[in-house]
Chains A and B, each alone.
Chain A
Amino acid sequence: MSLIVSSIGQGLLWALLGLGLYLTFRILDFADMTVEGTFPLGAATAVAAITHGVNPFGATLLAIGAGMLAGLITGLLYTKGKIPSLLAGILTMTAAYSVNLRIMGKSNVSLLGQKTLFSGDFMQSLPQYFDSVFLGVAVIAIVTVLLVFFLATDYGQAFIATGDNPTMAKSLGIHTDTMVIVGLMVSNGMVGLCGALIAQNNGYADINMGIGTIVIALASIIIGEVAFGELTLNQRLVAVTLGSIIYRIILLAVLQLGFSANDLNLISSVVLAICMMLPQLEEHVHLKKPILKGVQPHD
């Protein structure tokens, strides 16, 4: 039972990563590799700030700011520097590795004995793992409501149009470059927040904790889409969080089968690859037909 609660808590916290990437990957149609650097950047910033005496809340805000800065750099490289999107993200991601080492001073910094968002009296009074569920629900609720509001404003609609059809967006006077930059900043701000929360939850920041994050983010998005099918935009945002939780439960199941935590990146990739290939498999193997046939009454 506690393992399931732990998975739900992890799923909720990691859902921020999926939501962040949803803005760029699905809405702007921009495959943003920056997140692999932004996630540890958020973690490093928060942990370094906390160990230097900043209160956890302020440290988390700093992490959001750091993430937004990384997004800004990728945005400028892409829009003003005319560097292809994938490469712009990889450049920022690679640079962030060095920056993260500078921020932390070494490759792993512990939060042992430090105050974190999880160490308050109220959080400690919750049963084990319920602290991450509580904080996860609170943060996801706030972020989702803000996103729903944002996307339904005149500005948000222009943002969606930019990803949907940049030529049209420009012909309606929408500053598409600004939209892309804003989108990357908001997205990476959320990823930085996610890194800060995960680091505080784990009790440390590690220089290599960003490896594989883009796959985890994509997995939440794709699993949500595969599991829930045709949805409105607002429902899709909720589906990302549910997808993130499902993904954690899948991981839990796989670990129960005897795989070690070292196998996680391999498992993540396999899970994502299978989910992304489902439509193709469906076409070739006709999984649905025999399954439906099995449950339908005979004439």
Chain B
Amino acid sequence: MTKPILELQDVKTIVNKGTSNETMILKGINLKINAGDFITIVGTNGAGKSTLFNVIGGNLRADEGKILHDGKDITRTTEEQRTAFLARVFQDPKLGTAPRMTVAENMLLATKRGEHRYLIPRKLKPNMDRFTTLAATMNNGLENRMTTATGALSGGQRQALSFLMATLKRPDVLLLDEHTAALDPHTSFNLLHATNERITKDHLTALMITHHLEDALTYGNRLIVLKDGQIKADFRGAEKQQLTVKKLYQYFED
């Protein structure tokens, strides 16, 4: 078996350390993510889904345990350093784009994710055709708004742009944090569809948090149930295909 692209070894996080309110959020997560995995993650509120993403993303330190990227220990690296191989799409459309910059300018920023930026003139024009073609793949008219400030876009277009930006420079791991939850059902379906297409076509490794059990079952090759800071179930391949909403729902009861 090949080395996992990302591995969590007994990761624990504690909030309000040293006070009477001390609580452990992640209670020892062990997870091996292989290249090409598309993992959907479900779990109750407070199960630790967002904390898991924050620990992987680096904006929260693991208090115990180790995180390995391609076999290398990255537990102590910063959020900025991890962006070299990691991309993220947030739930809130406002968080993923710079509102006063144009669609094309936002995309240009994303082409240099995790790289040093120098005092050399930006190359917006030479990239324009490429950006427009990419925008057209989202099927929501984004390609006609390349020079519009993103603050003037609809939520759906902004979120589609956030997704494009996350994949513009191929990430080793893509984190999707309920990235369609703030959208109306139709827009949400379209974006999920486009997401799935891109991930499967480009063989991206992705983790997607969702509250829709149907979506969790439809998409991806692996499904993880997070409960009370621990991984309660990890279904793969055929096992996942046989899973039903009813069976999955049992994990949410009691």
The 9 closest A-B pairs by CB, nearest first: A173-B83, A173-B114, A164-B98, A154-B117, A165-B98, A158-B117, A161-B98, A172-B113, A155-B117
Task: List the interface of chain B (C-beta within 8 A of A).
Answer: 57, 59, 79-81, 83-84, 87-88, 90, 94-101, 105, 108-110, 112-115, 117-122, 165
Chain A 162-191, CB-CB to B under 8 Å as 1, else 0, gives: 001101111111110000000000000000
Q: Give the CA-CA distance A113 to B88 in the complex, in Å.
A: 63
The answer to whether A160 has its CB under 8 Å from any CB of chain B is: yes
Given contacts A155-B118, A167-B90, A169-B98, 11 further A-B contacts (CB under 8 A): A153-B118, A154-B117, A157-B109, A158-B117, A168-B95, A171-B57, A173-B81, A173-B83, A173-B112, A174-B109, A175-B80
A interface: dominant SS: helix
The answer, among B83, B94, B99, B117, for a CB contact under 8 Å with A171, is: B83
Q: Give the CA-CA distance A182 to B88 in the complex, in Å.
A: 26
Q: Give the CA-CA distance A158 to B109 in the complex, in Å.
A: 7
Given contacts A167-B95, A172-B110, A172-B112, contact A154 B105 (CB under 8 A): no
**Residues A165 and B121 in contact, CB atoms below 8 Å apart:** no
Q: Give the CA-CA distance A167 to B97 in the complex, in Å.
A: 9
Q: Give the CA-CA distance A142 to B59 in the complex, in Å.
A: 40
Q: Inside 8 A of A154's CB, which chain B residues have their CB?
A: 112, 117-120, 122
Distance (whole angstroms) from the CB of B240 to the closest CB of chain A: 29
Distance (whole angstroms) from the CB of B23 to the closest CB of chain A: 23
Q: Give the CA-CA distance A224 to B149 in the complex, in Å.
A: 21
The answer to whether A152 has its CB under 8 Å from any CB of chain B is: yes
Q: Give the CA-CA distance A156 to B99 in the complex, in Å.
A: 16
Distance (whole angstroms) from the CB of B125 to the closest CB of chain A: 11
**Residues A172 and B79 in contact, CB atoms below 8 Å apart:** no
Given contacts A154-B122, A160-B101, A174-B80, contact A165 B113 (CB under 8 A): no
Given contacts A160-B98, A160-B101, A172-B113, contact A153 B108 (CB under 8 A): no
The answer, among B80, B99, B165, for a CB contact under 8 Å with A164, is: B99
The answer to whether A57 has its CB under 8 Å from any CB of chain B is: no
**Residues B122 and A172 in contact, CB atoms below 8 Å apart:** no
Q: Give the CA-CA distance A216 to B79 in the complex, in Å.
A: 39
The answer to whether A150 has its CB under 8 Å from any CB of chain B is: yes
Q: Inside 8 A of B79's CB, which chain A residues have their CB?
A: 170-171
Chain A 108-133, CB-CB to B under 8 Å as 1, else 0, gives: 00000000000000000000000000
Specify the chain B residue showing the minimal Cβ separation from A233.
B100
Q: How many residues of A contact B (CB 8 A)?
A: 22
Q: Inside 8 A of B90's CB, which chain A residues have their CB?
A: 167, 171
Q: Give the CA-CA distance A168 to B110 in the complex, in Å.
A: 10
Q: Give the CA-CA distance A154 to B110 in the complex, in Å.
A: 11
Q: Inside 8 A of A175's CB, which chain B residues have their CB?
A: 80
The answer, among A157, A172, A174, for a CB contact under 8 Å with B105, is: A157
Q: Give the CA-CA distance A4 to B83 in the complex, in Å.
A: 54
Q: Give the CA-CA distance A152 to B120 in the complex, in Å.
A: 8
Q: Inside 8 A of B96's CB, which chain A residues have their CB?
A: 168, 171
Q: Inside 8 A of B112's CB, which chain A residues have their CB?
A: 154, 172-173
Given contacts A167-B95, A172-B83, A175-B80, contact A157 B121 (CB under 8 A): no
Q: Give the CA-CA distance A174 to B110 in the complex, in Å.
A: 10
Q: Give the CA-CA distance A164 to B96 in the complex, in Å.
A: 11
**Residues B109 and A161 in contact, CB atoms below 8 Å apart:** yes
Of A149, A158, A167, A171, most buried by chain B (CB within 10 Å of CB) is: A171
Specify the chain B residue showing the minimal Cβ separation from A150.
B119
Distance (whole angstroms) from the CB of A239 to the closest CB of chain B: 16
Q: Give the CA-CA distance A160 to B100 in the complex, in Å.
A: 9
**Residues B121 and A172 in contact, CB atoms below 8 Å apart:** no
**Residues B122 and A164 in contact, CB atoms below 8 Å apart:** no
Specify the chain B residue showing the minimal Cβ separation from A171.
B88
**Residues A153 and B99 in contact, CB atoms below 8 Å apart:** no
Q: Give the CA-CA distance A183 to B59 in the complex, in Å.
A: 24
Q: Inside 8 A of A164's CB, which chain B residues have their CB?
A: 98-101
Of B80, B90, B115, B120, most buried by chain A (CB within 10 Å of CB) is: B80
The answer, among B83, B100, B110, B121, for a CB contact under 8 Å with A153, is: B121
The answer, among A149, A157, A168, A170, for a CB contact under 8 Å with B117, is: A157
Specify the chain A residue showing the minimal Cβ separation from B57.
A171
**Residues A155 and B119 in contact, CB atoms below 8 Å apart:** yes
Q: Give the CA-CA distance A174 to B94 in the complex, in Å.
A: 18
Complex A-B: 19 CB contacts under 8 Å: A152-B122, A153-B120, A153-B122, A154-B119, A156-B119, A158-B109, A160-B98, A161-B101, A167-B90, A168-B98, A169-B98, A170-B83, A171-B90, A171-B96, A172-B83, A172-B112, A172-B114, A173-B80, A173-B84
